[in-house]
Amino acid sequence: MKIKKLALVRHGESIWNRENRFTGWTDVDLTAEGVEESYRAGDMLREEGLTFDMAFTSYLKRAIKSLDCILDRMNLDWIPVEKSWRLNEKHYGALQGLNKGETADRYGGELVQLWRRSYNTPPEPLTEDDPRNPRFDIRYRDVPPDDLPLSESLKDTINRLMPYWNDTIFPSLSERDNILIVAHGNSLRGIVKHLKNISDDDIAGLNLPTAIPYIFEFDSDLKVVNDYFLGNPEEIEKMMKETASVR
Ligand SMILES: O=C(O)[C@H](O)COP(=O)(O)O
């Protein structure tokens, strides 16, 4: 039986990850450490003996650059790459740019956790005339304006992600052996929720660390048969705890 593989990788550390700020659709760059850990993710995938036929990423440079680092280390710079705004991070609305710890001091840790991890509760939206409204950003000019968010819950993120998963990413797995997605903490949580059928409540407990490959294996009927992270389990556990915290 031929096993097909999908690798999910959250981008490497960004400048706002380092500064502990809500990022969402803000297009911030990687730190030097983020570049390094993306290269290391490429090394891990290569050492695992993996190769990919196609890759997908978002419209945001932290994911695009992480993907480039990974492909470089795998000598796969040549494979087709498709970008979609539907793989962007959850839109963090009016929280974008704010320090996570200071926001917890101001509004209480519980409310901040609700905005970060609950399935249904979006943060306060940007106002329509906010210069950060994605309608004013040329990269989204082909997206119907009504599809562009001013804030999103995880549910909203999944709702805009699933058409792309169902119409493009998942069908590509029938034609190809292995595919790679480099995206964001919350857009990838949406894909994991779907693949593992995780409940709306339990998905709150999943925190994806930066630049750690998460592998899903599929049988010939494209049913998930196995999933695992690459790397040291204790290290990964520690990174997940750090991701969960706003401090
Ligand atoms: O957009 C962000 O701030 C991060 O990419 C994810 O942040 P979170 O872990 O607070 O959801």
**CA-only gyration radius of the chain, Å:** 17
Q: Residue 79: pLDDT band by 50, 70, 90 thresholds?
A: very high
Identify which of 19, 116, 188 to mutate to test ligand 1's pocket (most ligand atoms within 8 A of the CB).
116
Ligand 1 binding pocket includes 22 (Cβ within 6 Å): yes
- What digits encode the pLDDT tens for the residues 8-59? 999 999 999 999 999 999 999 999 999 999 999 999 999 999 999 999 999 9
pLDDT mean over 134-146: 98
Taking only the tens place, the pLDDT of each residue in 110-127 is 999 999 999 999 999 999
pLDDT > 90? residue 171: yes
Between 3.40.50.1240, 3.30.70.141, 1.10.1270.20, 1.10.10.10, what CATH number should domain 4-244 receive? 3.40.50.1240
Q: How far is the CA of 23 from the centre of ligand 1 (A)?
A: 6
Q: Nearest C-alpha to atom 11 of ligand 1 is from which residue?
A: 116
Probe target for ligand 1 pocket from 14, 17, 31, 156, with the most ligand atoms within 8 Å of CB: 17
Q: From the CA of 185, how far away is ligand 1's center (Å)?
A: 6
What is the distance in A from the centroid of ligand 1 to the CA of 211? 14
Q: What's the rounded mean pLDDT across residues 61-81?
A: 98
CB-based contact 179:87 (threshold 8 Å): no
How far is Cα of residue 146 from the mean position of the Cα atoms in its chain? 23
Structure tokens at 80: 């087709």
Nearest residue CA, atom 7 of ligand 1? 22
Which residue owns the Cα nearest ligand 1 atom 2? 23
Q: Is the pLDDT of residue 1 over 80?
A: no
Whether 184 is in the pocket of ligand 1, judged by its Cβ within 6 Å, is yes
Q: Report the separation in Å between the CA atom of 176 and the middle of ligand 1, taken as the mean of its atom positions.
A: 31
194 assigned to active site: no
For residue 92 and ligand 1, the question of a CB distance below 6 A is answered with yes
Which of the residues 13, 89, 91, 152 is marked catalytic? 89
Q: Where along the chain do its domains lie?
A: 4-244
Q: How far is CA 208 from CA 67, 129, 130, 135, in A?
A: 16, 33, 30, 29
Residue of the CA atom closest to atom 9 of ligand 1: 243
How many other C-beta atoms lie within 10 A of the C-beta of residue 104?
A: 18
Sheet containing strand 224-229, edge to edge, reads 81-83, 54-57, 178-183, 4-10, 214-218, 224-229
